[in-house]
Amino acid sequence: MKSFFKLIQNNFNLSDDLMEIIEKSYTNVQTPWQKISDITAINQFKILKAFQKHKASDFHLNGSTGYGYGDVGRDLFEEIWASIFKSEAALVRSNIVSGTHAIAISLFGNLKPGDEVISISGTPYDTLLEIIGKNKEPGTLSELNISHKVIDLTSEGDFNYDQIKDEITEQTKMICIQRSRGYNWRPSLTIAKIKSIISYLKQINPNLICFVDNCYGEFVEEIEPIEIGADLAAGSLIKNPGGGLAPRGGYVVGKKDLVNNASLRLTAPGISGEVGSALDFNRLAYQGLFMAPLIVEQALKGSIYTSELLDALGYNVSPKASEKRTDIIQAIKLESPEKMRLFSKGIQSASPLDSHVTPYETALPGYDDAVIMAGGTFIQGSSIELSVDGPFREPYIIYLQGGLSVNHIIIGVISAIREIKKILNKLINFEYNYKCNKKSLESRGLIMKKIKVGLMFGGRSGEHEVSLKSAASIAKTFNKDKYEIIPIGIAKDGKWYAPIDISGIENFSQFINTENQVTILPYPNENKLINIKDNTVVSKLDIVFPVLHGTFGEDGTIQGLLDLANIPYVGSGVLGSSVGMDKIAMKDIFAQHDLSQVKYIGVLRSEIERDIEKVIGEIRDYLEFPLFVKPANLGSSVGISKANSVLELKESLIEAGKYDRKIIIEEGLNVREIEVSVLGNDNPIVSLPGEVIPSNEFYDYKAKYIDNSSTLNIPAKIDEKVIYKIQELAKRAFLALDCAGLARVDFFICKDIGEIYLNEINTLPGFTSISMYPKLFEVTGIMMADLLENLISLGFARCDEKNKNLTSFEF
């Protein structure tokens, strides 16, 4: 395998360190692989003997048409299945469209109104929940007055025997056992565990129907569920038993009367399994069944290798490489939506078909959450071929299954890791920053101590309420083992108050009390929060996080005070903050740096008050309707309006003038609104982009914070070349204004010509639950807690850099 791995390294451009882990993982799995090979040999022999016992011949491989009466190939195939699975009967048909369909006919065929079914392995797979129904939806079990209960497994992954006994009643007709984990972080159920619970159930009531959802489990162990007492089992032929060759189909095996009942629901009473033409199905189904043990072996070996490799790279995996397998599924907890997308992209790009396609999450029938799926399979939806899927919900678990060749699985998984590594490599600067910052922490005596973070919020601004929401979100997220949060509330009249209970930040007004009024004195290196009334020290401050949006906070004023006091703080300094706040000054600087923008003009409130008609005339001479009118020094879309006429322009100018002495007017275009987040000081990184699709005519304050009906597409569906260009433009804008720490940079993409326009920069973006800044870095791979830690580190680093400057000069 040395040559194989060398080829992979050269093609994927992988580091020697990563290759060492990749090759070591391959060595480590040889022992569990041998156990899998032994089981494969046993299952292969079993299938061969069944073919020989029933005298399968070439003519059995031919299909039938029409009703399918007398289809000897179909009938013999079902006899072979019954022999292999040790069942009284088998129903194996090409017109069973999926595993869910096979389960559905088993349930509907054997349950009657008033019956009860209990799922004793926890919440069933998403699509099965749709069959069960909740509120008597049409076509569901609940519509037929068939009730359903769920009993979770124990924390150790075993059946809850006592609860099961207590829940079984006279109405209980069927017990459902899902062998595979489904979309759950729980161990799959071994044949030994299933055998034990079935024996227990039969002691309670011998007439209970014990049904096993056998999907993903066939030929993984030496015996199947019917052999250990299950009454009925079902699954899909585009999973394990189809061997990667069966183009469609499903099966039901078990007791003769129960299988016959299922066949009545597949066809109709009086017809049952006597009809059903095979068409071209028989040859591929026979061959696929014969190949199934070998293909399952390949899939299992690939899953074991995936587990070993991802475990070595620090991911939480289930099962571990050394643990016993009872299905082909490997679960990997990625903890990030973007890592889920990247892993899927890596698998897709390593597929024989559609390798050029980028998978995205999408809504699918039968699933509550959007689902991401990847795998260029020869048979659509085949999960015995290499594929991954998973519901798009926390903690973002991806489920890998299948693979016709173990070497293809290895290639696919390494490809997936490479995609994630591309993002992680971009984040290396921040690990470096944090390590470098260790000296800074040592010099401040903060090693092994909690860092006191002064969290400022509120302020004299039209964005006061947004600031409270941001601060509350940040306070909840900080690592309490590393940081002590000192909330400092600034009232709308500009007075400061502390202490404040963290849980009461959003209701800050209740803490306003002259006894709690505080300030920071502009004396260098005092770093103290002082009570004004009695001059006592409320708290020492190691660093300040000014979560102040808008005027008197985001505009350089607070930053100037903190610079005078030489207190480290998060975010841009006086210059970056003040210019980033003033949209007119900002755009003038962007123009000097040749950054493309929509046409704009700035006016003063005094000019409007003196002669508004003249101002309107000057605007119309330079710009065309529609126009956007904004206060130059405010964010969160406060005071912004759209003008389509002279009358609306006049009203908009007056409205914007209520919030600022400077007003900016921009030409409106037919655009997509794109945003990226920036993190860093002199060498920043940029997140993946997001797109805002406002519920109102544009993304105003109501659309942002009140009605919650605007759509945020994160990440935005944009061509990779456009993403790269936007990221580079964001870096240029960030550095042009001498920003630091963080910023959100907003762009327009013209829908008509595809041109990219820089809109504005926000040096202290929102941190609420719906704010773009943290959401964009989350999908890029930095969770909010890590993001805050990086921002603290960057704040210390910038202060240290500034303190290198000499403050005196002697001849």
DSSP class of residue 711? E
CB 89 within 8 A of CB 254: yes
**Around 504, how many Cα atoms within 13 Å sit in the side-chain half-sphere?**
13
Q: For 526, phi and psi rounded to 5 degrees?
A: -75, -40
Work out the end-to-end distance of the chain between its first and last CA atoms, rounded to an integer number of angstroms. 70
Q: How many CB atoms lie within 10 A of CB 702?
A: 15
SS3 91: strand
Domains 2-38+294-426 and 57-289 share a fold: no
SS3 24: helix
Q: What is the pLDDT of residue 440?
A: 63
CB 625 within 8 A of CB 642: no
- pLDDT tens track for 215-248: 999 999 999 999 999 999 999 999 999 999 999 9
Return the structure tokens found at 75: 């009938």
Q: What is the pLDDT of residue 435?
A: 43
What is the dihedral sign for C-alpha 313, 319, 325, 331? negative
Burial class (CB in 10 A: 0-12, 13-18, 19+), 481: exposed
Q: What is the pLDDT of residue 127?
A: 80
DSSP 761-796: EESS---STT-HHHHHHHHHT--HHHHHHHHHHHHH
SS3 810: coil
DSSP class of residue 593? T
The CA distance from 124 to 102, in Å, is 15
**Residue at 508: amino acid letter:** F
Angle between helices 574-581 and 583-592 (to 10 degrees): 100
Low-confidence residues of the chain: pLDDT under 50: 426-436, 636, 699, 701-707
Cα→Cα distances 314→22, 435, 447, 602, Å:
13, 20, 26, 53
> Right CATH number for 57-289 from 3.10.450.50, 3.40.640.10, 3.30.420.270, 3.30.390.50?
3.40.640.10
Q: What is the pLDDT of residue 431?
A: 40
Instruction: Of 637, 765, 634, give the one whose Cα is nearest residue 701.
Output: 637
Residues in the chain: 811
DSSP class of residue 481? T
Q: What is the pLDDT of residue 705?
A: 42
Domain boundaries, the chain: 2-38+294-426, 57-289
Q: What is the pLDDT of residue 695?
A: 65
* Strand order across the 371-374 sheet: 316-318, 330-333, 397-401, 387-391, 371-374
Q: How many CB atoms lie within 10 A of CB 34?
A: 9
> Right CATH number for 2-38+294-426 from 3.90.45.10, 3.60.110.10, 3.90.1150.60, 3.40.250.10?
3.90.1150.60
